[in-house]
Amino acid sequence: MAINTDANHQIFSSYLKKEGLFDEVFDTNGKVKSIYTKLFDLYGEHSVEDYVHLNGKAKASFFNQGITFQVYGEKEAKEKIFPFDLFPRIIDATEWETIETGSIQRSKALNCFLWDVYHDKKIIKDKVVPLELLSSSSNYLHQMVGVDPPNGIYNHVSGIDIIKHSDGKYYVLEDNIRCPSGVSYVICNRTALKRALFGVFNHYQAHTVTNYAENLLKVLESVKPHGVDIPTCVVITPGMFNSAYYEHSYLAKAMGVELVEGRDLFVENDFVYMKTINGPKKVDVIYRRIDDLFMDPMEFNPNSTLGLPGLFAAYKKGNVCIANALGTGVADDKAIYTYMPEIIKYYLGEDPILSNVHTYHCSRPDELNYVLENVDKLVVKPVDEAGGYGISIGNKLTKKEIEVVKKQVKENPRKYVAQPILSLSVHPTYIEQKDSFEQRHIDLRTFTLLGKDKEFVLKGGLTRVALQEGNLIVNSSQGGGSKDTWVLKK
């Protein structure tokens, strides 16, 4: 059954609220939640025509800022404008505190885990995490064993994906600590919303998001190699054909550092230099947006022309810091995720602040059997893919597709985990084709920075929206959009 909200406002008049979904704006009786009242009224003043006009303005803002992205795997690789929704999401100060402390807790625990698995491996010897997860992980780099990254930080930047379930609680879906993307969209969403609807900000006390780059720069500078006073930092990108190239160039520009490709750098006597018109300039900290195995062809994938030959030796000697450190992928493996509560307890002696989603691990025989029998009720995910690729959602599959998933899982159980199909919360989202607001599922990616004596969580994060009705996959590479996210001051 679908109920109508009591909205008198034109643009919300046809908003359908389905039962069983957790709506972030309307309560179960269809009433606007207090935190959104003002916003709801402000948007309600607009006619549908106004809204269409404003929407166009926001899109133009994105176009003019050059914010586009690419979807891999489509026949024509085409640059697309990142879909943006004008109706923002609001998170109150108390809820945010949970998210913020929870994100820092996880990032710190992950950092301890990484240190341990590349040094004494105590957590494995103590049988908290099974050895198998390490020995079968292709992201575990033996070259990193015994390497001490400057100031002991591995995951300088963590992107933690969080959802609100129908029980109103926040759950972590996954931790991304390789090259998490999306922070530039957080900042651009704010810019676009301000350009389209500046007035709305007068009514709310929301934290700024434009301070991300300065904090990132501080973190990068804080992990400078020993003996360097004022470090030279750079952002390294695979190049303009990468789907996140916009973000790479944005971050370099916002931090006031050079955006480089491998060919702009060279290594001599295990130091890294940048080619400049004034001659070579030593580089001390590299914020890398290239995957591990492509970073140094002399050490990893010999066919890579993206990275920098000889970089690893310079890193190992402590002459340059790489953020995030190489080999962090072993900890954001979705199979390791299942052990996060134990990992947090083991290293920090604390209870996890943010909950994990119950996860079945296909490498455990009884759990594998459960998964094989219940594929239709579960989300099955490969442990080592990103961007929402390879995920199957049980209740959306045909019988034939279910058999295919079963076969894949049976052939390589270590590669898969499964979770119950969660009901992600929904948020009113403007659907262009229908000229009206509809409920769409959302999640939240938070950005956490760890540096020497420094922790920072961007007060905002990226709210991603699954634009297709009923769809649960929010990744932009799967056609998702996003919303500006306001974190209210206390």
Partner 1 sequence: MSLEYTVTYSAKNTYENSVFKAFWQFCIIPEDNGTQQLVHWNFENSLNVFNGLSINGLGFKVIRVHPEVSFKTISFKAKFKVIKQEINPFNFEVDQDIAKGYKSILEIAFKTEHEPFLRKTRFTKLPLKNTSLFSFDKTKSIFDNLIELNTWTFEYIDFKAGVTDVDTTLDTIILKKNGVCQDFSHLFCAIARENHVPTRYVSGYLHQGNGYFGDSQMHAWVEAFVPDVGWIGFDPTNNLLVNENHLKVAHGKDYSDCPPIKGVVYSNGWNETEHSVEVQASQQQ
Residues lying near partner 1 in the complex (CB under 8 A) are found at 121, 124-125, 127, 131, 134-135, 141-145, 266, 268-270, 297-299, 302-305, 309-310, 312-313, 316-317
Please report, in angstroms and rounded to a whole number, the separation of the first and last CA atoms in the chain: 38
Residue nearer to partner 1 on the CB measure, 80 or 122: 122
As a whole number of angstroms, the distance between CA 359 and CA 422 comes to: 11
Minimal distance in Å, beta carbon 490 to partner 1?
46
Neighbours of 1 (CB within 10 A): 5
488 within 8 A of 92, measured Cβ to Cβ: yes
Residue nearer to partner 1 on the CB measure, 54 or 331: 331
- The DSSP 8-state label assigned to residue 488 in this structure reads B
Minimal distance in Å, beta carbon 118 to partner 1?
12
DSSP 61-102: HHHHHT-EEE-TTSSS--EEEPPEEEEEEEE-HHHHHHHHHH
- The DSSP 8-state label assigned to residue 32 in this structure reads B
Residue nearer to partner 1 on the CB measure, 100 or 292: 292
Minimal distance in Å, beta carbon 230 to partner 1?
27
Look at the block and give the residue holding tokens 């597709």. Answer: 401
Give exposure, 101-129, as e/b (b: 16+ Cβ within 10 Å). Answer: ebbbbbbbbbbbbbbbbbeeeebbeeeeb
Minimal distance in Å, beta carbon 137 to partner 1?
10
Residue nearer to partner 1 on the CB measure, 302 or 349: 302
Residue nearer to partner 1 on the CB measure, 313 or 357: 313
Residue nearer to partner 1 on the CB measure, 34 or 303: 303
Residue nearer to partner 1 on the CB measure, 303 or 398: 303
Dihedral sign, Cα of residue 203, residue 195, residue 211, residue 172: positive
For residue 323, the surrounding DSSP H or E stretch is strand 321-323
**Ranges of H-type helices in 143-244:** 183-196, 212-222
For residue 334, the surrounding DSSP H or E stretch is helix 334-337
Supply 344's token pair: 């947090």
Q: Left (φ > 0), alpha (ψ -120 to 50) or beta: where does 356 sit?
A: beta
Supply 290's token pair: 């290239």
Give the residue among 303, 301, 311 at the shortest CA–CA distance from 261. 311
Residue nearer to partner 1 on the CB measure, 124 or 488: 124
283 within 8 A of 232, measured Cβ to Cβ: yes
Minimal distance in Å, beta carbon 414 to partner 1?
12
Residue nearer to partner 1 on the CB measure, 99 or 290: 290
Minimal distance in Å, beta carbon 149 to partner 1?
14
